[in-house]
């Protein structure tokens, strides 16, 4: 954790900031290891301070190292004025503009009249976008749990079972194998509902010869996986096979082309062109993928407009899809590590069409 803090301190010097206030819990965890639900961390150019309340004082002893810890009232912001580093004149304090609401900003102005509040964007994002060895180990463990649950849930899929029953079984099994609460609600969408990219599980009963799309991910020690698979209950018809194979071809093309120094938009284009050539481009309305880690949707966004370059150490999803209203849809998603020479697919679940 100290290496991450030191890297951020160097950024503060470049940005001419005296300190940075971090209140977004995934970023707090990234910098401190803290997994509780009430915490702030302040990064100074020569140190750091962590604030939480009485409920977590034992937890921080176990999780937060090499950082000064303060046990405050539950309203942590009101305790900031007690910090000696904030008692000087015209201190430039950065804050995460994307994660601090207007009401809290106005409170800070009153609580810290000597501080000049400076909105910042993506300072921590520049750090978390590339994963170190310990982060990759946690992501791989989350993926291992996710792959295992998918292989097991196949035995439960049959006509008459409710989508909600499948999602409940999946979430139970993820926790049983070591996952904390998933960052997003498990998607189970069957039949015509599979045309909804984010069709969370409903009370609908699965019917024979339908598509069923699963999108879910375990979380291990704060790091997430993200896997999507579409299967057919029964035998796939000709159109189902055609659409599925177009999506599979698009995904394979993107995986084969992914490499460092490639623009995210160019990677998106490699898959989108396959779907466009097949005549289904109007049914692919989202980006090809996104980064994952301590956030389920992180940089880089792999979409038609993002010019950001892929770099070794980034973990992204590659998830093309085709969604046809009143018929159904297919999405195939894998988690991919950008390497020095290309990419490595981390997920292992079967990608060929599964007929149950």
Measured distance CA(191)–CA(211) in Å, rounded: 5
Q: pLDDT of 324-338, one tens digit each?
A: 999 999 999 999 999
Instruction: Confirm if 314 and 131 have CB atoms less than 8 A apart.
Output: yes
Does 356 reside within a domain? no
**Domain ends where: 83, 105, 127?**
127
Average confidence score pLDDT of the chain: 95
Residues 106, 123, single domain; the answer is yes
> What's 109's domain CATH number?
3.40.350.10
Number of domains within the chain: 2
> What's 140's domain CATH number?
3.90.230.10
CB under 8 Å to 89, separation ≥6 — which residues? 114
Greater confidence (74 vs 230) lies with 230
Q: pLDDT of 125-156, one tens digit each?
A: 889 999 999 999 999 999 999 999 999 999 99
Does 353 reside within a domain? no
Does pTM top 0.85 for this prediction?
A: yes
**Domain ends where: 78, 107, 127?**
127
The number of CA neighbours under 13 Å toward the Cβ of 112 is 28
Q: pLDDT of 172-205, one tens digit each?
A: 999 999 999 999 999 999 999 999 999 999 999 9
Could you list the residue range(s) of the whole structural domain that residue 20 is in? 2-127
- Tell me the pLDDT band of 318, cut-offs 50, 70 and 90: very high
Instruction: Tell me the three state secondary structure of residue 269.
Output: helix
92: exposed, middle or buried (Cβ count in 10 Å: 0-12, 13-18, 19+): middle
Measured distance CA(344)–CA(336) in Å, rounded: 6
pLDDT for 88 beyond 80: no
Instruction: Confirm if 2 and 66 have CB atoms less than 8 A apart.
Output: yes
Residues 101, 224, single domain; the answer is no
Measured distance CA(7)–CA(17) in Å, rounded: 14
- Tell me the pLDDT band of 214, cut-offs 50, 70 and 90: very high
pLDDT for 35 beyond 90: yes
Which DSSP helix (H) or strand (E) runs through 108? helix 102-111
Measured distance CA(50)–CA(61) in Å, rounded: 11
Measured distance CA(207)–CA(220) in Å, rounded: 34
**Domain ends where: 109, 127, 145?**
127
pLDDT at 107: 94
């Amino acid at each position: 954790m100290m290496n991450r803090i030191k890297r951020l301190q160097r950024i503060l010097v470049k940005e001419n900031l005296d300190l940075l206030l971090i209140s977004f819990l995934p970023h707090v965890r990234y910098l401190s290891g803290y997994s509780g639900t009430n915490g702030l961390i302040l990064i100074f150019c020569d140190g750091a301070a962590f604030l939480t309340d009485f409920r977590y004082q034992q937890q921080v002893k176990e999780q937060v190292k090499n950082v000064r810890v303060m046990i405050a009232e539950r309203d942590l912001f009101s305790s900031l004025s007690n910090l000696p580093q904030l008692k000087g004149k015209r201190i430039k304090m950065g804050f995460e503009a994307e994660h601090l609401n207007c009401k809290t900003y106005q409170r800070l102005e009153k609580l810290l009249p000597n501080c000049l509040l400076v909105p910042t964007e993506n300072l921590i994002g520049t750090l978390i976008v590339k994963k170190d060895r310990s982060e990759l180990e946690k992501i791989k463990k989350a993926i291992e749990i996710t792959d295992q649950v998918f292989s097991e849930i196949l035995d439960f899929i049959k006509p008459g079972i409710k989508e909600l029953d499948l999602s409940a079984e999946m979430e139970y099994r993820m926790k049983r194998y070591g996952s904390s609460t998933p960052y997003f609600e498990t998607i189970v969408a069957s039949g015509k509902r599979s045309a909804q990219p984010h069709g969370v599980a409903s009370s609908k009963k699965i019917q024979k010869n339908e598509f069923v799309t699963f999108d879910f991910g375990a979380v291990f020690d704060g790091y997430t996986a993200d896997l999507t698979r579409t299967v057919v209950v029964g035998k796939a018809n000709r159109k189902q096979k055609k659409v599925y194979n177009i999506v599979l071809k698009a995904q394979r093309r993107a995986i084969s082309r992914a490499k460092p120094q490639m623009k995210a938009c160019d990677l998106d284009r490699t898959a989108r062109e396959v779907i466009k050539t097949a005549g289904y481009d109007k049914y692919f309305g989202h980006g090809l993928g996104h980064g994952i880690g301590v956030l389920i949707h992180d940089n880089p966004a792999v979409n038609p407009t993002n010019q950001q370059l892929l770099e070794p150490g980034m973990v992204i999803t590659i998830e093309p899809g085709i969604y046809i209203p009143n018929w159904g849809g297919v999405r195939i998603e894998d988690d991919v590590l950008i390497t020095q020479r290309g990419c490595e697919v981390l997920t292992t679940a079967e990608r060929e069409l599964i007929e149950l």
